[in-house]
Amino acid sequence: MSSSETRPRRRSRQLGRRNVPDQSPHKDRWILSYADFITLLFAFFVALYSISLKQAGDEKVLSETLNGVFDAVQKSIKPINVGDPVAGQPDSEQLMEVTPNNPSEPESTPQEESVTSPLYTALSESISSQFPQLQTTGQVSITEDANWITLDMKAGLVFGAGSYELTNEAVALLIVVSNILKGYPAPILVLGNTDDLPTNSTQIPTNWHLSSMRAASVVDELIYRGIDSKRLAPMGFASENPKVRNSNDFARAQNRRVTLKISKQMDANVHDYLFN
């Protein structure tokens, strides 16, 4: 048999082999199922987000809550101290908490006190009615114990960044507060607090200056609104009185604040109240 007769047969066998389909399962087939699962999971969380946003009625509140959850520092039940304590760092478990206090905790629930003072009730109701978003977003909080009524105001509400000049919203809030305090003659301590970051300003060289000037600005406004200056004492604590550890931006925002501590004991002179 000649070579010319064998060549066509050889091509036909090769063509036949090429037409045989591959019946083995593809090794990457699982990717399709995984992609479907991720798509459904994404849709599920989008639905949850939409429901919560509709119920809250305030996109800003939801955004701040989510930022607080994802930026918060993990708590430890019993922190381990290595070496000497560091100045300016809280040493109690309550101060380790980065997120705002839970209203259900006994120490932060004024309603659980045996007697709620009329001043606390008046301040809480006035701020809630005239500035409803401030307490909801945590920019203002009011608590009381056996000796003091404490009004905490976040520095971001009261001042601009690195500034000691009051914002318009802070002035409006202090007008309401001063109108109530004028009928309650008691010593008032105004405490300024900052985070641990340097000021980076030639006009305000340290956080001691910044915290003191912020406290003094609030005192000046209260005096201008009719509060007797003898009842007021501004104090700056810089970063030495933190609520939480200065470990991230969210935590530092909790420490930048101005606090009004109103005594439950009547006294017309804060100096005599503190030192006599």
Q: Closest by alpha carbon to 219, among 211, 156, 52?
A: 211
**5 occurs within a structural domain:** no
Residue 52: what pLDDT? Answer: 67
**47 occurs within a structural domain:** no
Residue 17: what pLDDT? Answer: 52
**170 occurs within a structural domain:** yes
Angle value at C-alpha 84, between 79 and 89, nearest 5 degrees? 60
Could you tell me the CATH number of the domain that includes residue 234?
3.30.1330.60
Q: Residue 92 has what DSSP assignment?
A: S
**Using one digit for the tens of pLDDT, what is the confidence trace for 81-118?**
444 444 444 444 445 545 545 544 444 444 444 468 89
CB 170 within 8 A of CB 153: yes
Strand segments, DSSP code E, in 69-207 are: 140-144, 148-154, 188-193
**84 occurs within a structural domain:** no
- pTM here is 0.59
**226 occurs within a structural domain:** yes
**At residue 132, what is the residue type?**
P
**211 occurs within a structural domain:** yes
Q: Closest by alpha carbon to 70, among 249, 244, 196?
A: 249
Please give the chain's pLDDT, 276 residues, in tens.
555 444 555 554 554 455 555 555 566 777 878 888 888 888 778 777 766 665 555 555 555 544 554 454 444 344 444 444 444 444 444 455 455 455 444 444 444 444 688 999 999 999 999 998 998 898 999 999 999 999 999 999 999 888 899 999 999 999 999 999 998 989 999 999 999 999 888 889 999 999 999 999 999 999 999 999 999 999 999 999 999 999 999 999 999 999 999 999 888 888 888 888
Q: How many residues does the chain have?
A: 276
Burial of residue 155, with CB atoms counted within 10 A of its CB: 0-12 exposed, 13-18 middle, 19 or more buried:
buried
Instruction: Specify the number of domains making up the chain.
Output: 1
Residue 106: what pLDDT? Answer: 43
In angstroms, the Cα distances linking 83 to 78, 80, 242 are 16, 10, 20
Domain coverage including residue 132? 97-275
**153 occurs within a structural domain:** yes
**259 occurs within a structural domain:** yes
